[in-house]
Amino acid sequence: MVTVGVHVSIAKSIDLAVDRAKEIGCDTFQIFSRSPRGWSFKDLTEEQVKAFRGKMKASGIVGPVDHMPYLPNLASPKGEHYRRSVDTLKAELHRSGQLGIPYLVTHLGHYHDEGKEGGYAGVTGAVNEAFSAVKNDVMLLLETTSGEKNTVGGTFEDIRQIMDGIGEPERVGVCYDTCHTFVGGYELRTPEGLGETMDHFDEVIGLSRLKVVHLNDAKGDFGSHWDRHEHIGMGSIGEEGFRNILHHPAFARLPLVCETPVDERRDDVGNIRKVRELAEKEASPGGRKKPRKVTGGR
């Protein structure tokens, strides 16, 4: 059995996200706790928090996961945009705590003339400041990226570098996006390639740090750095690749969130169904591996 869901809307009231997740058969789900396309937001009311927590308690759903809005850029540590980005991170950590959401996923952002080392410094500075201001049990998950130009997070070494600069490392984990890592140059399609990739992840970061998976196929080719998601099995990773992923012990134990399209070919229900179908089928020869010892990284 896998724990799979999708990103759901909070339209009209945040507690309705739980209803929507249940209606389409989610075991887990992801939300934006407010509009992702602007800086301003309203504080959560006591009634909203009570309604969300109450529905979650009665739902039997695992998680869920909160995701940072689109506008923040934590990797460019100067100017008003950066200050707003840090303030947004603080606010989302607080909101996740209010709602009882265990994980907050963040993109790491783009650096500018400060260079990659400056990008690392921006992210670690933002996280350390946010953790100093907000004390709760929410774990911040650094999302793997596709390795586009001037980004941090495109390699496992990038993420390790950032984690090493965070003063409260127990509050940080990783969200592994299958589309991003694949187009970023990490092989996932074959048992051998997947095994090597996850061995490398374990050596650099540690499998114990892996907490949530964004399960997305890719429109782009391997190593293309093109961040465009596709329906499960319909992209460059393909059904066989996802069958191998879903049978790998590093992924089988984790919440899986699809951020896939909704179009005439397939909807959210269809992608959840496809994940469960592939998880029930045998992996490729050699795809089932004995669980490796989970380490905490360096």
User: How much is the mean pLDDT over the chain?
Assistant: 94
- Residue 11, pLDDT above cutoff 90: yes
- Residue 290, pLDDT above cutoff 80: no
**Which tokens go with 224?**
């293309």
Task: Determine the 3-state secondary structure of 64 from DSSP.
Answer: strand
What is the model's pLDDT at position 292?
39
pTM: 0.94
Percent of the chain with pLDDT over 70: 94
Instruction: From 155, 88, 93, 95, select the one nearest 120 (Cα to Cα).
Output: 155
> Mean per-residue pLDDT for 74-102?
97
**In this predicted model, what pLDDT tens digit does every residue of 122-132 receive, in sequence order?**
999 999 999 99
Residue 114's alpha-carbon distances to 70, 76, 117, 158, 248, in angstroms, are 21, 7, 7, 16, 39
What is the model's pLDDT at position 284?
57
**In this predicted model, what pLDDT tens digit does every residue of 53-85 receive, in sequence order?**
999 999 999 989 999 999 999 999 999 999 999
Q: What band does 281 get if pLDDT is binned at 50, 70 and 90?
A: confident
Q: How far is CA 69 from the centre of its chain?
A: 13
Residues 261-298 as b or e (16 or more Cβ within 10 Å = b): beeeebbbeebbebbeebbeeebbeebebeeeeeeebe
User: What's the CATH number of domain 3-280, 3.20.20.150, 3.40.50.150, 3.40.50.300, 1.10.274.10?
Assistant: 3.20.20.150
Only one residue has tokens 């809307």, namely 9
Beta carbons within 10 angstroms of residue 193's beta carbon: 16
Decide: 100 and 65 in contact? Cβ < 8 Å. no
What is the model's pLDDT at position 1?
85
Q: Which range among 93-102, 140-149, 241-250, 281-290 shows the weakest confidence by mean pLDDT?
A: 281-290
87 or 114: which leads in pLDDT: 87
Domain range annotation of the chain: 3-280
- Residue 233, pLDDT above cutoff 60: yes
CA pair distance 28, 36, nearest whole angstrom: 20
What is the model's pLDDT at position 285?
56
Beta carbons within 10 angstroms of residue 16's beta carbon: 16
- Residue 289, pLDDT above cutoff 50: no
Q: Which residues are catalytic?
A: 37, 67, 70, 107, 143, 177, 180, 214, 227, 229, 259
Q: What band does 287 get if pLDDT is binned at 50, 70 and 90?
A: very low
What is the model's pLDDT at position 288?
40
